[in-house]
């Protein structure tokens, strides 16, 4: 399923040897494992909102609708869960994630990416604990907000793989999201008939958060991040681990990293804020993609399916247990391979699922990369918030027509990709400008940028 973040790519400097080492593999797995906490949260909320003890305690009006209390006729199944308070339980995470994503770039610049992962993991742990022990709606929402901050922080991460393997390692994030979704749906099925089952389902979110937090303690920060913060000794050790070579073999690459970092700081000191720089004409293609890709990813409706799968399956006539089993099947579709809805989920898992993380993470030059990623994550979270908050009302009023709304967006995004998104596979990060220069449309905005930049500006593209 989709998530709400972008993995920051921190690959090798062009012209220097790189290989897949144990350190690179472990670092990539730990970074991508943040998908576990997001996937678990995506899957857990929909199942919990169908549990009778949960509804009885927090949303009795929804339960009365479900049971048709006081009505002579059977309730409209499409409108049973139409409650703004109930949808706020799901959507509050994403408004918090949006806020976190806007400050995450500054945090990573100050604390480093590894420490930002630790901060996000700890915040998520606290949020899960509050949700598991919630006594009222206020505690539920507070816990979800903390989960949102955790997800927003942990989605600003790093992949250190060589260009050839960059896409494969980035898609690991999507794979972990799928594992989290399946695990949460299985847990929901097992806890659904216990009066305290919803507490266990919500509280077990601490497990993937703990896995990622402990994993973060086992890795070092990326060489670029350490150089940016002036920690050259640690940067050298990190580079040695990542390259798997001798000390003499990384000296030149470290020196180049230091040189480029100094040039980047010199240029940054002469220029305006990166939030203003990204509005410049030469960065128009990257800005459009930073907004368009996460927006289109969410208006496919994939997260809505994940959030409200049990509710949707109940709406087509399945009982509660059958709906939860169907949700498990839906989650499994994203990991390997119900008919139309599962085909739709599988298609997403093969395309927009992983690539919407990868592409925004690799298209920006260094000086605006963190800013561009923050914008991308913010758009993702903001769109998810709006859709999750309004979906149950749309389902009540438009029924199956709700999915025609998403189908229209899918058609639009297909045209957008065909016309405006160039291929970035296998392109070194510092050569990405040439992709835009050759494009039939974007070339008019960036034509000649790669040839005309000064040496200091060229250093900023790494």
Band of residue 271 on the pLDDT scale cut at 50, 70, 90:
low
pLDDT given at position 330:
64
Residue with tokens 């109930």: 86
Angstrom distance (rounded) from CA 362 to CA 424: 8
pLDDT given at position 59:
92
**Positive or negative torsion for Cα 420, 421, 427, 429:** positive
**Which domains, ranges and CATH numbers included, belong to the chain?**
22-219+271-446 (1.20.1250.20), 223-270 (no CATH)
Band of residue 126 on the pLDDT scale cut at 50, 70, 90:
very high
Q: Is 156 helix (H, G, I), strand (E, B) or coil?
A: strand
pLDDT given at position 301:
85
What letter would DSSP give residue 77?
G
Chain centroid to CA 277: 24
Sequence length of the chain is 462
- The full DSSP string for 61-74 is HHHHHHHTTT-SS-
Can you read off the two tokens belonging to residue 126?
A: 């606290």
- The full DSSP string for 333-349 is HTT----HHHHHHHHHH
Residue with tokens 């391979």: 337
Model pTM score: 0.76
Angstrom distance (rounded) from CA 456 to CA 400: 55
Neighbours of 417 (CB within 10 A): 16
Q: Which residues of 158-170 are buried (b: 16+ CB within 10 A; e: fewer)?
A: bbbbbbebbbebb
Closest CA to 280 of 50, 445, 412: 445
Closest CA to 23 of 117, 116, 161: 161
**Tens digit of pLDDT for each residue in 154-190?**
765 555 555 566 556 666 777 788 888 889 989 998 9
Angstrom distance (rounded) from CA 289 to CA 92: 26
Is the pLDDT score of 239 beyond 70? yes
Mean pLDDT of 102-111: 79
Residue 158 pairs with which residues in a beta bridge?
8
Is the pLDDT score of 458 beyond 50? no
pLDDT given at position 315:
67
H helices of 320-432, in order, are 320-333, 340-350, 352-362, 366-398, 401-420
Task: State what percent of residues in the chain have pLDDT above 70.
Answer: 74
Is the pLDDT score of 460 beyond 50? no
pLDDT given at position 203:
95
């Amino acid at each position: 399923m989709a998530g709400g973040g972008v993995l920051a790519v921190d690959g090798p400097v062009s012209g220097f040897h790189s290989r897949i080492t144990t350190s690179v593999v472990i670092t990539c797995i730990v970074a991508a494992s943040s998908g576990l906490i997001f996937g678990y949260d995506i899957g857990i909320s929909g199942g919990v909102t169908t549990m009778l003890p949960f509804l009885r305690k927090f949303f009795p009006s929804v339960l009365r609708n479900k049971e048709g209390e006081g009505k002579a006729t059977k309730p409209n199944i499409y409108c049973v869960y139409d409650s703004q308070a109930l949808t706020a339980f799901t959507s509050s995470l994403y408004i918090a994630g949006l806020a976190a994503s806007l400050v995450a770039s500054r945090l990573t610049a100050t604390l480093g990416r590894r420490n930002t992962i630790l901060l996000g993991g700890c915040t998520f742990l606290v949020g899960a604990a509050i949700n598991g022990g919630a006594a009222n709606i206020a505690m539920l929402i507070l816990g979800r907000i903390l989960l949102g901050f955790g997800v927003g922080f942990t989605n600003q991460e790093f992949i250190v793989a060589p260009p050839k393997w960059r896409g494969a390692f980035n898609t690991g994030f999507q794979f972990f999201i799928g594992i989290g979704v399946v695990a949460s749906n299985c847990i929901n099925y097992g806890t659904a008939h216990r009066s305290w089952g919803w507490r266990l389902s919500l509280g077990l979110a601490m497990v993937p958060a703990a896995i990622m937090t402990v994993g973060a303690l086992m890795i070092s920060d990326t060489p670029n991040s350490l150089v940016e913060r002036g920690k050259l000794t640690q940067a050298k050790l990190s580079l040695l681990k990542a390259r798997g070579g001798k000390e003499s073999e990384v000296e030149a690459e470290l020196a180049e990293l230091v040189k480029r970092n100094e040039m980047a700081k010199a240029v940054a000191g002469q220029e305006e804020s990166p939030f203003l720089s990204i509005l410049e004409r030469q960065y128009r293609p990257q800005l459009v993609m930073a907004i368009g890709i996460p927006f289109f990813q969410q208006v496919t409706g994939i997260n809505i399916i994940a959030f409200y799968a049990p509710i949707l399956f109940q709406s087509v006539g399945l009982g509660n247990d059958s709906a939860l089993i169907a949700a498990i099947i839906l989650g499994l579709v994203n990991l390997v391979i119900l008919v139309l809805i599962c085909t739709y989920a599988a298609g997403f898992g093969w395309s927009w699922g992983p690539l919407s993380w990868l592409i925004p993470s690799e298209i920006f030059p260094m000086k605006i990369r963190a800013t561009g990623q923050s914008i991308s994550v913010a758009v993702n979270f903001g769109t998810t918030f709006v859709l999750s908050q309004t979906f149950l009302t749309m389902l009540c009023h438009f029924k199956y027509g709700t999915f025609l709304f998403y189908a229209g967006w899918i058609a639009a995004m297909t045209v957008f990709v065909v016309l405006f998104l160039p291929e970035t596979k296998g392109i070194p990060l510092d050569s990405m400008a040439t992709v835009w220069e050759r494009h039939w449309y974007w070339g008019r905005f960036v034509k000649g940028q790669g040839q005309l930049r000064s040496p200091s500006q060229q250093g900023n593209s790494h």
